[in-house]
Structure 1
Amino acid sequence: MHVHDYFDELTRRDWDTGADGTIRFAVVGVGGFARKAALPAIADADYAEATVLVTGSPERVGPAAEERGVEHVLTYEEYHDGAATDTYDAVYVATPNALHPEAIETAAVNGKAVISEKPLAATVEGAKRAVSVCEDADVPLMTAYRMQFDPVVRRLREFVGEGGIGDPLQLHGGFAFDVLGGSRGPDQWRLDADLAGGGALMDVGVYPLNTARYLLDADPVAVTATARGEGVFADVDERIAFQLEFPDGVTASFTAGFSGYPKSHLSVRGTDGHVELPDSAFGTEDPRRVAVSRGDVRAVVDGPETSEIREEFDYFAHAVLTGDDIGPDGEEGLRDVQVTAATYEAAETSERVEIRYS
């Protein structure tokens, strides 16, 4: 097995069979991530375009709409009332977590395909509602796990899945950023437990969690955890460490944080080798580097400057245009919310918690 057999063609779109047309998106929630990351990604996409912005502050979103050539700006009330439904084909939900289900439900009622930011909802009940309404309306629902569309991560899954490091044994990783940094202060929805559903785990801890599930193609069965939060973080976890148990004795130890030095990394150790994303494993700005060790061989491959957010929108739009199955779907988003709920229970009780998928 040669490492470069997997990583030489990093820009390969293994899902792209070609599609005619584009999908017009209504972007629901036009906060910093939507403006700075999602809208530019949609503008660069081959199969997607933004035609509607939905916001609570139309006057503030006007410049972003003009810059991106988006003709329609709706309030949330207008969106939920069904305004301008003939101007978009699909909905991208980027509101605070607790508001995802109602935005998804409106899209489903109007027969629109949906891609929702992670986590799918702030609670297990909310995530189940989101999945149910889309199933009832027979519209596709995708959870926006951008890591699954990064070409390095997609090739890494192939490499691990085909025995590149032998049998996986342990995963380690973490993601931390200063949530109060820059112009962000304590008056933000990420620090509101009702809107966010939690703190660092819900916002950045889901990245190593979901990426582990993706690489292993397996769901964790139990979790232990320790969380800390005080001051402005009194209602949410500022820092959390959690260990997941997967089938066949595989374990994963992860951390997430809202303070301190920003860092993200991920590694997988197996019976015959080790792979690592050592720098900016979960960030959006820098190309990813993958380091592979197997026996006496060590290879380092630098990924391309490819926007996984653009790839995510193109994948989703391509699937809607062609009628292909979509993954990560709503059910996958629900499972991650069930894992986070069990993780918070483990942190609160200081006990090992078996994860319930029901």
Structure 2
Amino acid sequence: MIRYAVVGAGWIAQEAFLPGIHQTRNSRVTVIVSGNRERADTLAKFHDIPHVISYDEFDKALENDLFDAVYVALPNSMHADYTIRAARAGKHILVEKPLADNLEDAEAMVTAAKEAGVYLMTAYRLHNEPGTIAALDRIRCGAIGTPLLAQLIFSNAPDEGNHRYSAEHWGGPLQDVGVYCINAARHIFGEEPIEATAIRQRPKHDPRFAEVDASIAATLRFPSGGIAQILASFQGALAETYRVIGTTGDITLDPAFRFEVPMRMMVTKQEMAEITDFPHVDHFAGMTAYFSDCIATRTPPESDGEEGVADMRVLLAIEEAARTGRTIKIDTPPRPTHPDHTTERRCPLTDRRLVF
């Protein structure tokens, strides 16, 4: 049983991670690290978690045998600090994406984990979700011929006051929801993009977008000639889908990204459509169960730190392209692995959650 410390007891921990871990058979939370003691104590009691500590007590807790791994669910700007401290103490790390708020810190996180001999995994829950795996598998096996074009859309507005609207924490739709589109595009083509162009939109009279963009559109070009168009927004209505057009057919995944709904895939070929509805599994349980399996068997996770760094390079290139109006080159080594049936985990849903 792999023991976790949850660092940051905000919405994603309350809504998804803490409920999901009960659905695994190999993981449990033994520590909550939070700046709100009253709320953390209530969560700990609800989820049967024995220890609650403050951020100031984190280093001391790292010296004790209270947990084997940490789940970092803090704002983007805080990921590197807590990841590096945990790695140096010999703890494995599961960190939310994007990996950090700058490339230097992201690479330092990877280095710290390697030097300590621990695993760093970027929290790409879709790498363990059956609909995502099935869509990628159909593309790889040639169900639509050679993939040529991909359009990926994710629009979802956080509540007002959320840290995702803060430039200090590297917020914005590209970093929060666009990263899902980028990650999917990279695995759809099985390659790393080589250049990016982009435009962005920021309304003048909406206070939510005083510091971050409202929407961004980017185009990525891949070595084989594939083109991905990415649309991410904090202003538009909820939408989450991608469509991949190949030489002989196309695949649509809709819904495609959120954990609150099950995935649906449509494969169209010669005007015949095949629709597959996938079971609604617990994404966070599957992700955590997979990481715990990796820790227990000493198997490096597929969505490791370098996977997070690869997306960081694309995020930063798109930002620069949108800012300058230029085409920005991207230079990332090919990934040795991609999500497949070995990373898939199916864990049942739960109603056991407490959200403030």
Q: TM-score, normalised by structure 1?
A: 0.89
Q: 1:355 aligns with which of 323, 326, 330?
A: 330
Aligned partner of 1:200 in structure 2 is 173
Amino acid in structure 1 at the alignment position of 2:198: A
Q: 1:78 aligns with which of 47, 54, 57?
A: 57
CA distance in 1, matches of 2:26, 2:296: 9
1:119-171 deviation per Cα after TM superposition (whole angstroms, max 9, x unaligned): 00011112111111111111111000111111011121111111111100000
Aligned partner of 1:48 in structure 2 is 27
CA distance in 2, matches of 1:92, 1:357: 26
The answer on whether the counterparts of 1:200 and 1:256 sit within 8 Å (CA) in structure 2 is yes
Aligned partner of 2:321 in structure 1 is 346
Aligned partner of 1:256 in structure 2 is 232
CA distance in 1, matches of 2:171, 2:6: 24
Q: 2:245 aligns with which of 269, 277, 281?
A: 269
Aligned partner of 1:151 in structure 2 is 130
Post-superposition offset of 1:48:
0.8
Q: 1:234 aligns with which of 210, 213, 223?
A: 210
1:261-296 deviation per Cα after TM superposition (whole angstroms, max 9, x unaligned): 111111111001100012x21111111100001224
- The size of the alignment, in residue pairs, is 330
What secondary structure sits across from 2:100 in the alignment? coil
1:227-249 deviation per Cα after TM superposition (whole angstroms, max 9, x unaligned): 12243312111111111111111
Q: How does 1:147-226 map to 2 (within 5 A)?
A: 147-180=126-159, 185-186=160-161, 188-195=162-169, 197-226=170-199
Post-superposition offset of 1:255:
0.6
Kindly, what percent of the aligned residue pairs are identical? 36
What secondary structure sits across from 1:285 in the alignment? coil
Q: How does 1:55-74 map to 2 (within 5 A)?
A: 55-74=34-53
Aligned partner of 2:75 in structure 1 is 96
Post-superposition offset of 1:83:
4.9
1:178-227 deviation per Cα after TM superposition (whole angstroms, max 9, x unaligned): 223xxxx23x32111121x2410000000011011123221111001111
Amino acid in structure 2 at the alignment position of 1:307: D
Aligned partner of 1:315 in structure 2 is 290
Post-superposition offset of 1:84:
6.4
**CA RMSD between the two structures:** 1.3
What secondary structure sits across from 2:258 in the alignment? coil
CA distance in 2, matches of 1:105, 1:244: 31
Amino acid in structure 2 at the alignment position of 1:141: L
1:35-63 deviation per Cα after TM superposition (whole angstroms, max 9, x unaligned): 11111111111211111111111112111
Moved more, 232-241 or 83-92: 83-92
What secondary structure sits across from 1:193 in the alignment? coil
Gaps of 5+ in 1: 1-21
Quickly say closer, same or farther: Cα 1:86–1:112, change in 2 above 3 A.
same
Q: TM-score, normalised by structure 2?
A: 0.90
Amino acid in structure 2 at the alignment position of 1:122: D
Quickly say closer, same or farther: Cα 1:345–1:263, change in 2 above 3 A.
same
Aligned partner of 1:244 in structure 2 is 220
Moved more, 217-226 or 291-300: 291-300
Amino acid in structure 2 at the alignment position of 1:53: I
The answer on whether the counterparts of 1:85 and 1:110 sit within 8 Å (CA) in structure 2 is no
Quickly say closer, same or farther: Cα 1:322–1:235, change in 2 above 3 A.
same
Q: 1:330 aligns with which of 299, 305, 312?
A: 305
CA distance in 2, matches of 1:85, 1:156: 43
